């Protein structure tokens, strides 16, 4: 498992050799006139990735120069025409339409994300396009944010801060703003991967009594690291005082957290999702929260994103919603951009990517 800081230092040291041009170092004019591969970057990614792309001397770089506004779809379809490589983020839907617009030159796609549900993998496989992504480097940041969201939700910190600021803080009361402790609790993990293990490692010092998990199959090596017990989905719901969702979004996990799951959970349970919004049926979650079927929920991901401000979930005091910031640390985002850049450059050279999807 890579820590994000160690990963960034390693990625900064990876030697992606500049393209050689006979007759000495290539001048700016020579590069402009050369047949360097064309690359389009769909966002102003963090500086480490852009620095690697510029310094490589391997590509003609075009960039949607904004971090605040995604490239409009119509613009994107124009810009990708004839490119050899594409570096995107999770806001870009890479489907048949986009791949048709890019044309046959496109050989490498690198996404600055650990999730890849925005990519049509079948279309990419059919066209022989190599795909890189950025797992592992964001493990620490996501685990930290998950723990922060869990504590914020279970101890009702947003409610408490609001009461203090708006005059609700009166005399001391015996049960006012009481929440739920991690000590002696059972923590359930839906989808045990590196992030799930990292979350459990951070929660263990809080004197958690037991860790349980479910997945498509038992994962004994990962479970051993946190002394976690494999259980069925039903048992995960029934036993968990805190349920953290860490699974990928796939056809099998789409809306897997629904009325059936929530109905089996304890009325005192806390539900946390930092994976993908699509794994939750939000209408069922609203019903579970508003009727007291479960105690509270903390979400870093929703459908859609951003979630409209008039969505019913925002009306609930027992639901904390964050704007998809789990990997939002300077170190991690720079490590992600550096890994995405290295994946792209290595793929264009016909070399194995550091982190490539097996299609």
Positions marked catalytic: 324
Say how far apart CA 98 and CA 102 lie, in whole Å.
6
Say how far apart CA 131 and CA 116 lie, in whole Å.
10
Say how far apart CA 79 and CA 191 lie, in whole Å.
37
Query: Is the separation of the CB atoms in 196 and 244 below 8 Å?
Result: yes
Say how far apart CA 223 and CA 317 lie, in whole Å.
34
- The closest of 203, 193, 159, 196 to 179, measured between CA atoms, is 159
- Tokens 């059919």, residue located: 126
Helix ranges, 91-184 (H) = 96-102, 121-126, 139-154, 157-166
Q: What Rg, from alpha-carbon coordinates, does the chain have?
A: 23
- The closest of 302, 260, 258 to 281, measured between CA atoms, is 258
């Amino acid at each position: 498992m890579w820590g994000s800081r160690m990963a960034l230092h390693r990625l900064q040291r990876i030697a992606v050799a500049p393209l050689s041009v006979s007759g000495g170092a290539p001048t700016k004019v020579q590069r402009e006139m050369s047949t360097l591969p064309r690359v389009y970057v769909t966002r102003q990614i963090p500086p480490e990735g852009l620095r690697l792309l510029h310094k490589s001397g391997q590509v003609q770089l075009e960039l949607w120069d904004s971090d605040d506004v995604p490239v409009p779809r119509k613009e994107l379809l124009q810009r990708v025409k004839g490119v050899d490589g594409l570096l995107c983020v999770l806001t870009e839907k890479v489907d048949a339409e986009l791949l048709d617009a890019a044309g046959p030159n496109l050989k490498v796609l690198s996404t600055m994300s650990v999730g890849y549900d925005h990519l049509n993998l079948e279309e990419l496989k059919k066209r022989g396009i190599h795909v890189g992504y950025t797992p592992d480097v964001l493990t620490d940041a996501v685990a930290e944010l998950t723990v922060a969201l869990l504590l914020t939700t279970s101890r009702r910190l947003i409610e408490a801060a609001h009461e203090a600021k708006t005059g609700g803080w009166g005399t001391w009361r015996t049960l006012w703003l009481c929440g739920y402790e991690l000590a002696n609790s059972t923590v359930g993990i839906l989808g045990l991967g590196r992030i799930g293990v990292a979350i459990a490692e951070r929660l263990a010092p809080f004197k958690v009594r037991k860790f349980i998990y479910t997945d498509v199959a038992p994962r004994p090596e990962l479970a051993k690291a946190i002394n976690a017990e494999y259980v069925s989905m039903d048992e995960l719901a029934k036993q968990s005082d805190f349920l953290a969702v860490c699974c990928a979004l796939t056809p099998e996990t789409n809306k897997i957290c629904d009325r059936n799951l929530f109905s089996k959970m304890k009325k005192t349970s806390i539900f946390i999702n930092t994976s993908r919004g699509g794994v939750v049926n939000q209408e069922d979650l609203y019903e579970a929260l508003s009727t007291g079927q479960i105690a509270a929920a903390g979400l870093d991901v929703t459908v859609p994103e951003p979630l409209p401000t008039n969505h019913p979930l925002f009306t609930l005091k027992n639901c904390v919603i964050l704007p998809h910031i789990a990997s939002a640390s300077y170190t991690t985002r720079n490590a992600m951009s550096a890994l995405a850049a290295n994946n792209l450059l290595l793929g264009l050279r016909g070399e194995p990517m550091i982190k490539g999807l097996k299609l």
